[in-house]
Amino acid sequence: MALYSARKGFNVGLTVGGINLNRGFHIVAGPCSVESAEQMDAAAAVLADHGVRILRGGAFKPRTSPYSFQGLAERGLELLARTAHRHGMISVSEVMDTESVELVSSSVDILQVGARNMQNFSLLRRLGKQPKPVLLKRGMSSTIEEFLLAAEYVLQGNDKVILCERGVRSFETLTRNMLDLAGVALLRRMSHLPVVVDLSHSTGRPDIIPELARACVALGAEGIMFEVHHDPQSALSDGDQAMLLDAAAAMIDDLAPWIELRERLERSASPAAHPAV
Ligand code: PEP
Ligand code: MN
């Protein structure tokens, strides 16, 4: 497969808001859905205080049931952008359809394509025609090859694509999805795009996120994403998988020495240790 994204010299550094996502280890965190100014502020204050620079929050929510909370739409985007700005962070939010690309693109720093839309080719093509980076989530039943080819649709017009592994459907019931860490290793060999691992939607449970976060650091992933809430029981979506703010803060602190170790090892490693496929 002649991947556009694997061409030599292509996309040497995806920089957004002064952050180079191809270098270092980045944390994307925030609530599943934007619910209120207070909720966003509570999350952002703790996250920013612990060095998190990318705030997430859904304003257009792809829900399995049409009777579930669908998001605050434009008002949600405003709350997210305002909160991120106030705390010196950049923002990421999902865009669900071609009609809202302009609105989302003018409101937030990074546009997320959800798992359910990974092969919405008209949306992907449209995102190639706007300038903001796109965080593309892997479809829940998609192969790595299909994932990379979906990224190609955006890359034909916009070289700023971030790949996000978020788990695939499996027979397991104790986790929400099956986190494919082999797929993450493969994605990093097959493309030059930053790879971020969504630990909330892949596991569906906050208790095992800290050890998986360490695995992502060791694996060489460019970052992780997870959901937080100041009061998960009152969350309007995905409360079961949200980390409490204290737990998130402790995890971020505990992760710091692992990230430092990786950076030290990377500085001393020879480039030949990581050949491209
Ligand atoms: C999300 O990140 O808000 C989300 C809905 O995730 P996914 O598309 O991976 O299910
Ligand atoms: Mn969610």
Return the half-sphere exposure (C-beta side, CA atoms, 13 A cut-off) of residue 5: 28
Q: Give the position, in ligand 1's atom list, of the atom nearest the Cα of 58.
A: 3
8 A C-beta contact, residue 29 and residue 248 = yes
Does residue 132 register a pLDDT over 50?
A: yes
Q: What backbone phi and psi angles, to 5 degrees, belong to 29?
A: -150, 160
At a CB cut-off of 8 Å and minimum separation 6, what does 151 contact?
Answer: 5, 136, 161, 163, 191, 193
**226 in helix, strand or coil?**
strand
Averaged pLDDT, 154-166: 97
Q: How far is the CA of 112 from the centre of ligand 1 (A)?
A: 9
Tokens describing residue 38: 């207070």
| Residue among 80, 201, 241 whose CB has most ligand 1 atoms within 8 A, to mutate | 201
Does residue 2 register a pLDDT over 50?
A: no
Q: How far is the CA of 4 from the centre of ligand 2 (A)?
A: 30
User: Which residue type does 207 have?
Assistant: D
71 lines ligand 1 (CB under 6 A): no
Q: How far is the CA of 270 from the centre of ligand 1 (A)?
A: 36
**258 in helix, strand or coil?**
helix
Does residue 167 register a pLDDT over 50?
A: yes
Please state, rounded to an integer, the average pLDDT across all residues of the chain. Answer: 94
Q: How far is the CA of 277 from the centre of ligand 2 (A)?
A: 33
58 lines ligand 1 (CB under 6 A): yes
* Model confidence band, residue 274 (pLDDT cutoffs 50, 70, 90): low
24 lines ligand 1 (CB under 6 A): no
The pLDDT score that the predictor gives to residue 13 is: 80
- The span from the CA of 15 to the CA of 13, in Å, is 6
